[in-house]
Structure 1
Amino acid sequence: MGLRQEVTRARWTLLVQFSLFGVLGTSWMSRLPSIRSELGLSAGQLGSLLVVGGVGTLLAVLVTGAVVARFGSRRTLVAATAGNAVGFGVLAVATATASVPLFALGACVNGMCGALTNIPINISAAGVERAVGRAILPHFHAAFSVGAALGALVGAAFAWSGAHVAVQLVVVTAVVTLVRALLVVPSTMLAPAHGRATSDGATSRRGSGVRAALAAWREPRTLLVGLVLLAASLSEGSAGTWLSLAVVDGFAAREAVGAVAYGTFVASMTAVRLAGTGLIDRWGRVTVLRVSGFAGLAGLLLFGLAPTLSLAWVGVVLWGCGAALANPIAISAASDEPVHAAPRVAVATSFSTVSMLAAPPLLGLLADQVGVRSALLVICGAVVLSLAVAGQVRPPRDAPVTSRDPLTST
């Protein structure tokens, strides 16, 4: 198989992998009301239980860089796929038997497997981007957004049919696991075969993956790219958690209106991710990141301070547009040098994981005091910080660059 065919195959199979990752993450979350009922928990108790999954993700993020560096993206993704099958199987048993401890175990396993999936597929996508020779990582993140929306629809369909949540977990997990397993090899063919190859082609000694993972924590640029990813995760994740409620509470709107507002946010973000590759190629990462930051900042301020729902809706659109490209840009920046991509992506991703763990409860406490809309204005501080360090996403001078696109050049 020639380079062109390999790149094309890797590109399309990775798009499906990102979509399936989104489906797997949101299809069961859309059934949280049923899960809460089956487990006999209050909303607060369920929220605390879900934090266990975030803790699992954080624990895995801290070691995934070393795991990928030692065993490679392909083996790590195989392990994550198998682990998710086990984790969701445990969740199915937990909801069928109303076992809270089992549910906590399943959530923790899935949280760990989320990190073991996220980092290898992003490293593989960065490899495809380098082979193509132009910015295409936003397309993969758009595929994730589409998959997340599809997952919500799948959950809604199972709920409408009256199926028990355990049935949904088994069916969706079985289908997704089968497809993911079939796509592991083609989707990782442009990632390093294993993580032990050094930049000069020699084989590294045992333990070098751990040292490389620890070394990434001492790199100023990697840490600053992590701050960009933290702001991106905070902006996107807070919208998913609080936007609908902010519309309902802030404007005395119906729940359906809040849901449509969040749908507008996702649609805006997905549209910009699809169009973002051309923008990055033309203007560069730094300029696009800065413009995105200003758009997100304007959208957040408008949403938080607007006196009317229609004006706040404009803010939602700007917010979604501004949140779209920071995540893929940060991942691309962390992956500039293939030999060090795994530990650097792991370090940068850990910042978004901390954001995912800390933001919901902290924003919730603040919302109790000032209201949800006003609480969301705190995100502006993170966006300003991201703007301040935006120059760090510029590719290093010695980073490998491909000037021609094997999919379009002749």
Structure 2
Amino acid sequence: MTTAVTRTAPTTRAWRNAVFVVFTLSGLDIATWLGRVPSVRDSLDASTFTMGLLVLGMSVGSIGGLTFAGHIVARLGARRGVLVASACLALGMVAAGVAVTLGWGFAAIWVCLIAFGFGNGLCDVSMNVSGATAERLGGRTIMPLFHAAFSVGTLAGAGIGALAERFDVPVALHFIVVGILTSLAMIVAIRWFGDDRHVEPEATDTSPVALPVSRWAVWRQPSTLLIGVIVLGMALAEGSANDWLPLAMIDGHGLANDGGSAVLAVFLAAMTAGRIAGSPLIDRFGRVPVLRASAVVAVVGLGMLIFVPSVPIAIVGVVLWGLGASLGFPMGMSAAADDPRTAAAKVSAVATIGYVAFLAGPPIIGFAGEHVGLLNGLLIVFVFIIAAGLASGAARERTGAGTGTTTTTPVGAVDAGAGSHLQSDATAEADRR
């Protein structure tokens, strides 16, 4: 068994805090682009269909980043994965801003968004892998809090974008400042990341410790696909609200435009609150019961929105929908990263499955909404949330019960200071056997 040589580990607390920073900055980057979409549309004089094609460029890049992230993180580690991602994010954002302001046209912006999307996908996997390792070492569930930090970053980015739109700040200036500052901050933050590289077993290794951890073989594992169903269903629950909730409240419940946008803010606030409050619940009851309860809450909330004509009850349903959808994605990421040796490949695979929801969900729901109404179109989400709840058993902790984290022997000392070193996970596995 070949293992990577590790460097001196930072304290687990410093590592955890650095991951919080990266999650927040990642959310800020995404929201920076989304907040200036109106200006981009005006500069191109684009139709809704054209803007959809433009966003497809970022989606293509994101899928590419997710696909290659398993290889990059397994070879270089999550720390260097974030480093590469930060460079792609800065390059894509700055170039896109310049292309918009100087009027380079659709094709130039589309190419820039591919680079930006690649950085986003790679950053997504890298920060989740590193966050899962920090979670294991800390001995308590913190992954939902990482995703809450991402939500806070998106809220901050949206607010900055709204101000930039209000005061007609050039897109190039906005993107250059945010792109450079966030990437530099990521580079500083990852100095406190630990070394979480885990090299795959050699083909000739027949010891019982060696596991089939090929980065493509994880796709053939039933657990990968079932965790993917969980993430797919909950990602669709989250993404469909971002895309369609304002219009659903306007068309289905008769609210004005500002009212529809306000209800989306209520949903995002419920998501953030659910992620903050969810960690102690997962530690107390375990992932599977919390996932099942989350699915039930989300289904009840979405059902209230779809079937009850009362606006106040529909808003209560939106709150329940947000709370129920808040923990599925982070718990799926934790479950995918339970085995350190397959963490990079499995998180990459599961995240790729989840991103299908963001790619295919909006047009499918929109197509259904054209024929049966947008509220009834959301019944598609209803079905996928139920499927996520039924598949929740796949997220069960590898060892121990009733805890949000595995009881695996720590890979390194918890808050042990700069003198501690991360232990090889293969050795830890052998010791347990």
Q: Shared fold by TM > 0.5?
A: yes
Question: Deviations 1:100-154 (Å, cap 9, x if unpaired)?
Answer: 1111001111111111100010011101110111111111000000110011001
Question: Structure 2 residue aligned with 1:97, among 77, 82, 102?
Answer: 102
- Other-structure match for 1:66: 71
- The equivalent residue for 1:26 is 31
What's 2:430 paired with? none
SS in 1 for 2:140: coil
Cα distance between partner residues in 2 of 1:333 and 1:270: 20
Partner of 2:422: none
**2:159 pairs with 1:153:** yes
Deviations 1:257-308 (A, max 9, x none): 1111111111111111111111001111000000000000111111111111
User: Could you say if the C-alpha distance between residues 346 and 287 of structure 1 is closer, same or farther in structure 2, counting changes exceeding 3 Å?
Assistant: same
Q: How far, CA to CA, are the matches of 1:112 and 1:325 in structure 2?
A: 25
Distance 1:221 1:40 in 2: 46
Aligned-partner residue type, residue 43 of structure 2: E
Alignment partner, residue 293 of structure 1: 295
> What's 2:84 paired with?
79
| CA offset digits 1:307-345 (Å, max 9, x no partner) | 111110011010001001111111110010111100000
Query: C-alpha offsets along residues 370-400 of structure 1, whole Å, 9 cap, x if unaligned?
Result: 2222211210111111111111100224965
Aligned partner of residue 141 in structure 2, secondary structure: coil
- For the Cα contact (< 8 Å) 1:137–1:328, is it kept in 2? yes
Query: What is the TM-score of this pair, normalised by structure 2?
Result: 0.87
Q: Distance in 2 between matches of 1:139 and 1:402?
A: 23
Equivalent residue for 1:10? 15
User: For 1:142, what is the secondary structure of its paired residue?
Assistant: helix
Provide the C-alpha distance between the structure 2 equivalents of 1:126 and 1:323, rounded to a whole number of angstroms. Answer: 20
Contact 2:199 2:341 in 1 (8 A): no
Instruction: Specify the code of the residue in structure 1 equivalent to 2:149.
Output: A
Over aligned residues, Cα RMSD in angstroms?
2.3
Work out whether residues 55 and 357 of structure 1, in 8 Å CA contact, stay in contact via their aligned partners in 2. no
Q: Distance in 2 between matches of 1:34 and 1:249?
A: 25
Q: Please state whether the residue corresponding to 2:46 is helix, strand or coil.
A: coil
Q: 1:57 aligns with which of 59, 62, 71?
A: 62
Tell me, yes or no, if the aligned pair for 1:225 and 1:348 is still in contact at 8 Å: yes
**Equivalence for 1:205:** none
Unaligned runs of 5+ in 2: 1-6, 401-405, 417-433
Find the partner of 2:190 among 184, 195, 198. Answer: 184
Partner of 1:311: 313
TM-score after normalising by structure 1: 0.92
Q: Which amino acid aligns with 2:80?
A: R
The residue number in structure 2 matching 1:174 is 180
- After superposition, the Cα gap between the structure-2 partners of 1:303 and 1:243, relative to the gap in structure 1 and judged at 3 Å, is same
After TM superposition, where is structure 1 displaced by more than 6 Å over at least 4 residues in a row?
none
- Tell me, yes or no, if the aligned pair for 1:142 and 1:274 is still in contact at 8 Å: yes
Q: How does 1:203-242 map to 2 (within 5 A)?
A: 212-242=214-244
8 Å Cα contact 2:82/2:122 also seen in 1: yes
1:88 aligns with 2:89: no
Structure 1: gaps of 5 or more residues: 203-207
Confirm or deny: 8 A CA contact 1:261 1:313 kept in the other structure.
Answer: yes
Confirm whether residue 44 of structure 1 aligns to residue 46 of structure 2.
Answer: no
1:109 maps to amino acid: A
- 1:135 pairs with 131, 141, 152, which one? 141
The correspondence of residues 279-358 of structure 1 with structure 2, limited to 5 A, is 279-358=281-360
Structure 1 or 2: more helix by fraction: 1
Identity in percent: 34
Q: Distance in 2 between matches of 1:400 and 1:219?
A: 22
Given that 1:198 and 1:339 are in contact with CA atoms closer than 8 Å, whether structure 2 keeps it comes out as no
Q: Tell me the secondary structure at the aligned position of residue 309 of structure 2.
A: coil
Give the Cα separation in 1 of the matches to 2:409 and 2:323. Answer: 28
Q: Indicate the residue corresponding to 2:366 in structure 1.
A: 364
